């Protein structure tokens, strides 16, 4: 939600740009939609968790299938890139769709309210002015800019988290690099889960345990799949 400065700007905007007959509540609704910046830390945590999950399974499956570090690293980089693009598209599309829908609904409600006031007053039907249209399109631009920023933040942190798990594959000896990457992923998931729980005013310990359990499930399932691929395909005569 907007901070104190945003609310001050909103009150000034409502004072000087309020057109005749336009509902103040409708303007406030549309302004709050555009100024709603969400939580930057929540986006950082979400992007990091997504990046870890994107490559954790690849590393576990590649290690179980006895692939070389270079093969796992290359595959993981591809998975990290795909995951970053996917989370960017999902974040951008979800935010623009939701906020544009709310913005359009608020705009239509304000027009309907003006129409009812005009009919009750037996006056000529009033149409939105150029200033009101300009304000509306300005709000739409803010929605798109905010969604673009959110997408870049989440995809950027997703890429960084994925790279953090992949670096041990090229910096550490092959005999235990996969184990180090997996252990690093579990450790990061526990910290991110605890932070997520604290930010949501929930139990940090329970949230951390949930993230670790999800990570372990992904690792176990991926290792089973990797062993199956090695047995059926790689060792097939």
Please tell me the distance from the alpha carbon of residue 45 to that of residue 140, in angstroms, as a whole number: 27
C-alpha to C-alpha distance for 153 and 145, rounded to whole angstroms: 12
DSSP string, 120-136: HTTPPPP---HHHHHHH
pLDDT tens for the chain, residues 1 to 237: 444 444 444 444 434 334 444 444 344 444 444 444 446 778 888 889 989 998 999 999 998 888 899 999 999 999 999 999 999 998 888 888 877 777 777 777 776 676 666 666 555 555 556 666 677 777 777 878 888 888 899 999 999 999 999 999 998 888 889 999 999 999 999 999 998 888 888 888 999 999 999 999 999 999 999 888 888 876 655
C-alpha 106/C-alpha 175 separation (Å) is 60
């Amino acid at each position: 939600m907007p901070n104190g400065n945003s609310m001050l700007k909103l009150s000034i905007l409502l004072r000087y740009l309020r057109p005749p007959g336009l509902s103040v509540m409708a303007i406030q609704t549309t302004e709050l939609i555009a100024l709603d910046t969400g939580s930057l830390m929540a986006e950082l945590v979400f992007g990091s968790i997504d990046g870890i999950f994107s490559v954790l399974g690849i590393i576990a499956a590649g290690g179980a299938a006895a692939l070389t570090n270079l093969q796992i690293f290359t595959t993981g980089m591809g998975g990290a890139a795909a995951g970053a693009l996917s989370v960017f598209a999902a974040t951008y599309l979800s935010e623009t769709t939701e906020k544009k829908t709310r913005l359009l609904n608020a705009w239509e409600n304000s027009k309907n309210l003006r129409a009812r006031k005009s009919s009750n007053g037996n006056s000529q039907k009033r149409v939105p002015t150029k200033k009101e249209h300009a304000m509306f399109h300005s709000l739409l631009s803010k929605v798109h800019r905010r969604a673009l920023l959110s997408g870049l933040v989440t995809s950027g942190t997703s890429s960084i988290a994925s790279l953090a798990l992949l670096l041990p594959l090229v910096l550490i000896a092959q005999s235990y690099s996969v184990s180090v990457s997996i252990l690093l992923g579990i450790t990061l998931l526990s910290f991110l889960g605890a932070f997520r729980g604290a930010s949501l005013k929930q139990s940090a310990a329970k949230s951390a345990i949930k993230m670790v359990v999800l990570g372990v499930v992904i690792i176990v399932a991926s290792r089973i799949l990797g062993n199956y691929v090695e047995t059926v395909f790689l060792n097939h005569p």
